[in-house]
């Protein structure tokens, strides 16, 4: 990759970074000050069981029964300690998850590009931001390539705005998203001083919605608490009418209320979810919301991308096609002058500071073949961003002596109508596309133009191009991908390939990795012509979707959901955002994923390894099974306690007080935390991953069929 220092951008030194941080602080938005200890204490004081224990302990002390009073006071401390411990474990796990989900930023320091946490940015830093990123600090652009920003977060305007150093509007702002290109900007404001920071107070009001399982558990506990309250009043009234002893009647009623209240269930749920998220994090899966953990086992369909998911995302330049010779040759061999010219022109058609893997490969290839690197001598004077159908892009460079280079690259088909080609040459190009595509290569056509003056055409397609040839890249499949796909199949999960590649390339790679149903293919344009009912039927049998764009991806997700499938979507680009949001589980790649994709997703695969999803689904199924066991156990131990307390009281037996509050709390102190610890550590049941996914709406007390 070309060094940004060649553009005269050195960035801050280590000493300057420390000085700036000392003066201006860290790049964090700080509003609401939280006290974890006080928050935990408040929640414990509000717990019904603690309130009941406090009342019962007070009654014993008032009636002179110091032994039982002290025992219940100790029990209050134990209950509070257990709650503190569980709360601390959950908070610690979630805090570490939160730290991992903080976005990283690339900056130029000491003349080199380094990656840091976004909160480490300082005023004066030279930050590099590119397509798909969420801008981490306010700044002023000093260099840009085809750079546009969506500022709807601040302005409400949905259209992207193009910005560069030559425009008056050369500022970028925290929280806005980059729609295209790359820019280097000098940080001017951080943290609360940014435009977003000034209006960020509203962020405090955002609350996370509860999941169906959370609502089910909350409603169950609420109903039990209501019945406990009604029974408490009933038993108190009955015993008072019999004995006219207020304190004794109150103790008996409290005993029954304590036996009914299943206060262990919410604690068990939080413990299972937080520790499940922590265990997944150790496996390399960052869960942004705890609710995702338990639900993962329900996934029935996973939509995957090809590049970086099925393949390595390591683009290597492997083949060259020269129109003048009509031959395909290997890029690794000794190159002719014409082949060197083809690679050089493809490099000029790329971004000066490349961030796309294919452009990076072209810059590397040029660096290896040239003795004199001309890149520092040329400045970009005009550019046409990626556009058109099929897409292409054009860059115009000029050096100090006025020599101009006009280079374009894009889908080879894009040049067929804008180049001076004969019918024979067009046929030859189409045959070459078919030949190289069958081997799974990614193809770029390369062309050049000549133009004098500065009144450039409005559209790049208005240039008269000379088509030079095609450069072909190969992105090999991941070594473990066949085994991963087999594991998904065994678990009853249907995998669908959703890619922007053409059908020939996608089918070639799918066939190589033994992708089930690789021959059942559909393009984005074909998909958009179907009505909703036709699409719902088509997605049941189609396994490979090619030439996909955002609207088409979104329609696939919605059609699968309409078929009652539980859909996981893996994406990494800007255009994957809507589909990631729409799916039940959006999954972003940690390394190659854009910040927009990570923001929209509910999980992040840190190492871009699809096999981790097998682990995640297995963990989800295990957690659901073990949580269900724990809840069923908690309910089962409450039933005999309730009956042992209530039946003698209701039937008026001679010795009705079998259990006192001390007995009940002792039983619950032993059984409640014990079941959470034991069941949370229970190993996964045999053949869990050989079963079909459970229905998404299954009640947590109902066993799997």
Q: Is the pLDDT of residue 344 over 80?
A: yes
pLDDT on residue 560: 92
What is the β-pairing status of strands 494-498 and 544-546?
A: parallel
Q: Is the pLDDT of residue 688 over 80?
A: no
Residues 358 and 422 grouped into a single domain: yes
pLDDT on residue 203: 42
Burial 2-30 (b: 16+ CB within 10 A, else e): bebeebebebbeeeebeebbeebbebebe
Give the pLDDT band (50/70/90) at residue 566. Answer: confident
Residue 256 lies in a domain: no
Q: Which residue has the higher pLDDT, 671 or 352?
A: 352
Give me 691's structure tokens: 């079963």
Q: 339 Cβ partners below 8 Å, 6+ apart?
A: 320, 322, 329, 331
Give me 605's structure tokens: 């695969």
Residue 195 lies in a domain: yes
Residue 338 lies in a domain: yes
Among 205, 220, 251, identify where a domain stops: 205
Residues 432 and 496 grouped into a single domain: no
Q: Is the pLDDT of residue 443 over 80?
A: yes
Residues 522 and 387 grouped into a single domain: no
pLDDT on residue 53: 60
584 SS3 class: coil
> Containing H/E element for 475?
none
Question: Which of 110-114, 123-127, 530-534, 624-628 comes out lowest in average pLDDT?
Answer: 624-628
Give me 395's structure tokens: 């860059």
Residues 185 and 321 grouped into a single domain: no
Residue 664 lies in a domain: no
Contact 608, 309 (CB under 8 A): yes
Q: Is the pLDDT of residue 67 over 90?
A: no
pLDDT on residue 466: 93
What is the β-pairing status of strands 521-523 and 494-498?
A: unpaired
**600-619, pLDDT tens digit by residue?**
778 888 888 888 888 888 88
Give me 481's structure tokens: 């991908």
The top-scoring range by mean pLDDT among 4-13, 116-125, 234-243 is: 116-125
| CA pair distance 458, 481, nearest whole angstrom | 45
pLDDT on residue 347: 94
pLDDT on residue 382: 87
Residue range(s) defining the domain that contains residue 588: 285-312+478-615
| CA pair distance 202, 705, nearest whole angstrom | 46
The 3 state secondary structure assigned to 349-372 is: CCCCCCCCHHHHHHHHHHHHHCCC
pLDDT on residue 697: 54
Helix axes 611-651, 246-260, angle to 10 degrees: 150
Contact 524, 546 (CB under 8 A): yes
What is the β-pairing status of strands 171-172 and 138-150?
A: antiparallel
| CA pair distance 312, 428, nearest whole angstrom | 30
| CA pair distance 677, 689, nearest whole angstrom | 23
Among 456, 474, 492, identify where a domain stops: 474
**473-486, pLDDT tens digit by residue?**
988 888 888 999 99
Q: DSSP secondary structure string, 245-273?
A: -HHHHHHHHHHHHHHH--THHHHHHHHHH
pLDDT on residue 139: 92
Q: Is the pLDDT of residue 31 over 60?
A: no
Angle of CA points 109, 112, 116, to nearest 5°: 60
pLDDT on residue 570: 87
Residues 306 and 347 grouped into a single domain: no
118 SS3 class: helix
Give the pLDDT band (50/70/90) at residue 520. Answer: confident
Query: What average pLDDT does this structure show over 324-338?
Result: 89
510: left (phi over 0), alpha (psi -120 to 50) or beta: alpha
The total of structural domains in the chain comes to: 3
Residues 545 and 530 grouped into a single domain: yes
**89-138, pLDDT tens digit by residue?**
556 655 554 554 456 788 988 888 888 888 889 999 999 888 877 888 89
Q: Which residue has the higher pLDDT, 673 or 437?
A: 437
Q: Is the pLDDT of residue 215 over 70?
A: no
The rounded percent of the chain whose pLDDT value lies above 70 is 73
Residue 587 lies in a domain: yes
Compute the Cα dihedral for 337, 339, 342, 344 and give only its sign: negative
Query: What average pLDDT does this structure show over 369-376?
Result: 87
Query: What average pLDDT does this structure show over 23-49?
Result: 65
| CA pair distance 171, 10, nearest whole angstrom | 20
Q: Which residue has the higher pLDDT, 233 or 671?
A: 233
Residue 458 lies in a domain: yes
Among 474, 495, 512, identify where a domain stops: 474
pLDDT on residue 408: 95
Indicate whether this model's pTM tops 0.75.
no
| CA pair distance 276, 627, nearest whole angstrom | 11
Give the pLDDT band (50/70/90) at residue 1. Answer: very low
Residues 436 and 537 grouped into a single domain: no
| CA pair distance 51, 218, nearest whole angstrom | 19
Contact 601, 336 (CB under 8 A): no
Residues 564 and 577 grouped into a single domain: yes
Residue 347: count other Cβ atoms within 10 Å of its Cβ.
27
Q: Is the pLDDT of residue 472 over 90?
A: yes
pLDDT on residue 446: 95
* Domain at 508, CATH number: 3.40.50.1000
Residue 700 lies in a domain: no
Q: 205 Cβ partners below 8 Å, 6+ apart?
A: none
Backbone angles phi, psi at 642, to 5 degrees: -60, -45
Residues 307 and 362 grouped into a single domain: no
* Domain at 383, CATH number: 3.40.1110.10
Q: Is the pLDDT of residue 190 over 80?
A: yes
Give the pLDDT band (50/70/90) at residue 289. Answer: low
What is the β-pairing status of strands 442-449 and 301-304?
A: unpaired
Cα separations in angstroms, 27 against 106, 138, 147: 14, 10, 24
| CA pair distance 326, 15, nearest whole angstrom | 57
Compute the Cα dihedral for 25, 26, 29, 33 and give only its sign: negative
Contact 107, 128 (CB under 8 A): yes
| CA pair distance 646, 643, nearest whole angstrom | 5
Order of strands across the sheet that contains 378-387: 327-330, 316-322, 466-474, 442-449, 404-410, 392-399, 378-387
| CA pair distance 55, 407, nearest whole angstrom | 82
| CA pair distance 441, 506, nearest whole angstrom | 9
Residues 494 and 377 grouped into a single domain: no
Give me 688's structure tokens: 């869990």
Query: What average pLDDT does this structure show over 209-237?
Result: 68
Q: In 3D, which of 343, 356, 353 has the Cα closest to residue 317?
A: 343
| CA pair distance 215, 213, nearest whole angstrom | 5
Q: 250 Cβ partners below 8 Å, 6+ apart?
A: 55, 59, 236
Query: What average pLDDT does this structure show over 172-196?
Result: 84
Q: How many residues does the structure list for the chain? A: 705
Q: Which residue has the higher pLDDT, 601 or 587?
A: 587
Q: Is the pLDDT of residue 537 over 70?
A: yes
Question: What separation, in Å, do the N-terminal and C-terminal C-alpha atoms of the chain show?
Answer: 55
Q: Which residue has the higher pLDDT, 614 or 43?
A: 614
Residue 182 lies in a domain: yes
* Average pLDDT of the chain, as a whole number: 78
Q: Which residues pair with 585 in a beta bridge?
A: 568
| CA pair distance 578, 379, nearest whole angstrom | 37
Query: What average pLDDT does this structure show over 287-292?
Result: 68
Q: In 3D, which of 688, 609, 633 has the Cα closest to residue 297?
A: 688
Q: In 3D, which of 234, 282, 280 has the Cα closest to residue 257?
A: 234
Residues 412 and 393 grouped into a single domain: yes
Residues 19 and 164 grouped into a single domain: yes
């Amino acid at each position: 990759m070309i060094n940004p220092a060649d553009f005269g951008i050195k960035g801050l030194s280590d000493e300057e970074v420390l000085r700036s941080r000392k003066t201006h602080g860290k790049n964090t938005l700080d509003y609401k000050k939280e006290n974890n200890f006080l928050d935990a204490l408040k929640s414990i004081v509000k717990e019904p069981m603690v309130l009941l224990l406090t009342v019962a302990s007070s009654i014993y002390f008032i009636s002179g029964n110091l032994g039982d009073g002290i025992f219940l006071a100790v029990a209050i401390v134990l209950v509070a300690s257990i709650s503190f411990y569980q709360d601390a474990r959950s908070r610690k796990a979630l805090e570490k998850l939160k730290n991992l989900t903080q976005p990283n930023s690339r900056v130029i320091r000491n003349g080199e590009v380094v990656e840091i946490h976004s909160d480490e940015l300082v005023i004066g830093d030279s930050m590099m931001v590119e397509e798909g990123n969420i801008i981490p600090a306010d700044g002023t652009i000093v260099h840009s390539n085809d750079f546009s920003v969506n500022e709807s977060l601040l302005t409400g305007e949905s259209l992207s705005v193009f910005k560069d150093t030559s425009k008056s509007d050369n500022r970028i702002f925290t929280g806005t998203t980059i729609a295209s290109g790359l820019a280097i900007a000098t940080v001017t404001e951080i943290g609360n001083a940014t435009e977003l920071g000034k209006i960020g107070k509203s962020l405090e009001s955002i609350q996370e919605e509860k999941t169906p399982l959370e609502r089910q558990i909350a409603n169950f506990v609420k109903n039990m608490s209501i019945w406990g309250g009604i029974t408490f009043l009933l038993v108190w009234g009955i015993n008072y009418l019999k004995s006219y002893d207020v304190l004794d009647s109150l103790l008996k009623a409290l005993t029954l209320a304590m036996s009914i209240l299943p206060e262990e269930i919410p604690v068990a749920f939080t413990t299972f979810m937080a520790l499940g998220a922590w265990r997944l994090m150790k496996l390399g899966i960052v869960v942004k919301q705890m609710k995702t953990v338990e639900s993962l086992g329900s996934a029935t369909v996973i939509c995957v991308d090809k590049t970086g998911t099925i393949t390595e995302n390591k683009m290597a330049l492997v083949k060259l096609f020269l129109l003048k010779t009509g031959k395909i040759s290997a890029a690794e061999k000794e190159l002719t002058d014409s082949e060197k010219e083809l690679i050089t022109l493809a490099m000029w058609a790329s971004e000066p500071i490349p961030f796309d893997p294919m452009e990076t490969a072209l810059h590397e290839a040029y660096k290896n073949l040239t003795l004199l690197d001309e890149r520092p001598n040329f400045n970009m004077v005009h550019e046409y961003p990626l556009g058109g159908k099929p897409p292409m892009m054009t860059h115009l460079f000029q050096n100090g002596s006025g020599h101009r280079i006009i280079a374009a690259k894009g889908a080879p088909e894009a040049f067929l109508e804008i180049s001076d080609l004969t019918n024979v040459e067009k046929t030859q190009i189409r045959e070459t596309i078919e030949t190289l595509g069958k081997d799974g290569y990614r193809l770029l056509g390369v062309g050049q133009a000549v133009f004098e003056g500065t009144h450039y055409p409005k559209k790049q397609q208005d240039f008269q191009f000379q088509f030079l040839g095609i450069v072909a890249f190969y992105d090999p499949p991941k070594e473990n991908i066949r085994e991963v796909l087999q594991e998904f199949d065994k678990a009853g999960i249907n995998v669908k390939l959703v890619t922007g590649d053409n059908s020939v390339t996608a089918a070639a790679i799918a066939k190589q990795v033994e992708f089930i149903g690789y021959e059942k293919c559909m393009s984005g344009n074909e998909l958009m012509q179907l009505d909703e009912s036709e699409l719902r039927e088509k997605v049941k049998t189609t396994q490979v979707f090619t030439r996909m764009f955002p609207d088409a991806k979104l329609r696939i997700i919605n059609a699968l959901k309409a078929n009652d499938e539980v859909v996981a979507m893996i994406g990494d680009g800007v255009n994957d955002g809507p589909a990631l949001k729409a799916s039940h589980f959006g999954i972003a790649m940690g390394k190659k994923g854009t910040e927009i994709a990570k923001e929209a997703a509910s999980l992040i695969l840190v190492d871009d390894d699809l096999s981790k999803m097998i682990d995640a689904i297995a963990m989800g199924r295990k957690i659901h099974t073990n949580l269900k066991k724990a809840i069923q156990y908690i309910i089962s131990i409450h039933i005999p306690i309730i009956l042992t307390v209530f039946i003698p009281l209701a039937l008026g037996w001679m010795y009705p007080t079998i259990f006192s509050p001390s007995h009940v709390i002792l039983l619950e102190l032993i059984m409640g935390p014990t079941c959470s610890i034991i069941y949370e550590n229970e190993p996964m049941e045999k053949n869990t991953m050989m079963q079909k996914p459970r229905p998404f709406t299954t009640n947590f007390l109902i066993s799997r069929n």
